[in-house]
Amino acid sequence: MIFSFGSASLARRLAAVLFLALVPALPALCQQQAADATPGIIPKDRLKETWWAERHQAVLEAVQAHPDTQLLMIGDSITNNYDKSKLPDENFQPTWQQFYAPRKALNLGFSGDTTANVLWRLDHGEVEGLHPKAAVLLIGTNNTGVGNETAEQTEAGIDAVIGDLEDRLPETRILLLGILPSELSASKTERDTAVNRYLATCYGDNPRVTYLDIGSIYFKNGALNTPIFYDPRLPWHPKALHPDTEGQHMMAEAIEPTLAKLMGDAPRMPLTAMSDINTAVIPVPRLEQDSYDWYGRHHAELAQQKGMDPQVVLIGDSITHFWGGLPNANHVNGPTAWQKAFGGMSVLNLGFGWDRTQNVLWRLRQGEFEGLHPKWVVVNIGTNNLTGTSNARASTPEEIVEGVAAICSEVHERSPESHILLMGIFPRGPRADSPLRASIEETNRLLAQRFAVDSTVTWLDIDAKFLAPDGTLPAALMLPDFTHPSDAGYQIWADALIQAGVKP
């Protein structure tokens, strides 16, 4: 069995591979002890359950009948549910027919399965002879749920499944989904969160595996949105675990842009129509090609912060990126203002050109703020969310606020003692009626409303300082695109940061 090793887990994954290879040669008692220690990586069948055995046989027949299968959907009951068409809460076939059937998809979801069961099914022919373009893997919730496995045991099980798929399907791109949120128990949620954080780090740069955590789409006002789970409406009223008809369709929308790229085809639904989900809170890597190497800068950031103890960390897009500081940008627009604001201070610049809130969330979960405890974190993000392209739809002001709030939460989770200085979105366009002005004003109004009572965040809107009395944006303060400040424009930002107390 061949595994691809992520830098964050090389030793652990190698140990799991060797351990799994040795298990068949162990005496029966030792095999049982091994299974007890790492249940998620030991293939295990459920053939005593008639329906499970019959479904496995049906899958084998489908594999034989459809050697041209282009997409595999692998998982547990949440994936198995696509077979259902029960109105109103479990009507998942329309979603399957819209997003997956046209791609010649095969459903390898089995209710109640853990990683151990998936491994057994892979060992017994469920992908034999297939050469799909992509495989979507959603597994692990039963490991931490009914299986009561630890986060580490579940991570090892998911690693084992990924490694097995990479070995059996060397030409297939894998879309690995994070464990979806549930309300089964606080301890399960804690374990699921740990698993997802591990997966984000482990598979962030894997060329064969794309990791996507869409859990944020199931939250509303900071709490799990239980009405889009069908479990509580069942006669015995279990807690929320399975998305209902609406929730499952939201999941399909959330993964569709990424899946379409992996499949090499067009999205099954226009990006502009995917309004049921807030893409601003779904962490994704680079979306737009820009004038620099996005991934190269990401690795430069990780290298730069090693051994660094910055007093200030800046987080943002190109406006932050091209101000100055380390790591060096390919061009700098505000050197004088940078010296004024930060001269003599240790500052890390986490600004990336063309970034949206969802890109910042991906970078934070990939380690760009790990181990840092600056006094100040200056966040200036959101302007690119207002612009739609063929790679991402434009976000609404309300969605941008949620994306910014998620970023602040990620920062505080890693460094609760840091004080966040949240900037309002800078004005764009030369005139008061320029296309994005109204959206920027509304976004800033909502941000001010959201963070006015947050003692850990200082809201700082300097929009008016850039503008003339008639609302025009003076050319001297901006580059010709009327989006990026000139050195004179950065001076306004520098003065505001100094007045806020960022510079001692």
The answer to whether 20 and 42 are in contact (CB under 8 A) is yes
Q: Angle, nearest 10°, between helix axes 151-168 and 115-123? A: 20
For residue 88, whether the previous peptide bond is cis, meaning omega lies within 30 degrees of 0, is yes
Nearest Cα to Cα of residue 39 among 108, 119, 110: 119
Q: Which residues are catalytic?
A: 318, 481, 484
- β-pair partners for 108: 74
Would you give the DSSP letter of residue 146?
T
For residue 493, give the amino acid letter: W
How distant, in Å, are the alpha carbons of 173, 203, 461, 493, 496 from that of 464?
A: 48, 43, 8, 12, 12
Q: How far is residue 463 CA from its own chain's centroid?
A: 30
Q: What is the 3-state secondary structure (H, E, C) of 426-486?
A: CCCCCCCCCCCHHHHHHHHHHHHHHHCCCCCEEEECCHHHHCCCCCCCCHHHECCCCCCEC
The span from the CA of 32 to the CA of 330, in Å, is: 58
Q: Backbone phi, then psi, for 420, in 5-degree steps? A: -90, 130
Tokens of 246: 């609406």
Handedness of CA 38, 41, 43, 45 (dihedral sign): positive
> What is the C-alpha separation between 478 and 86, in angstroms, rounded?
57
The order of strands in the sheet holding 312-316 is 347-351, 312-316, 376-380, 419-423, 457-460
Joined together, the tokens standing for residue 497 give: 């940061």
- Residues 6 or more apart from 375 whose CB is under 8 A from it? 311, 312, 418, 419
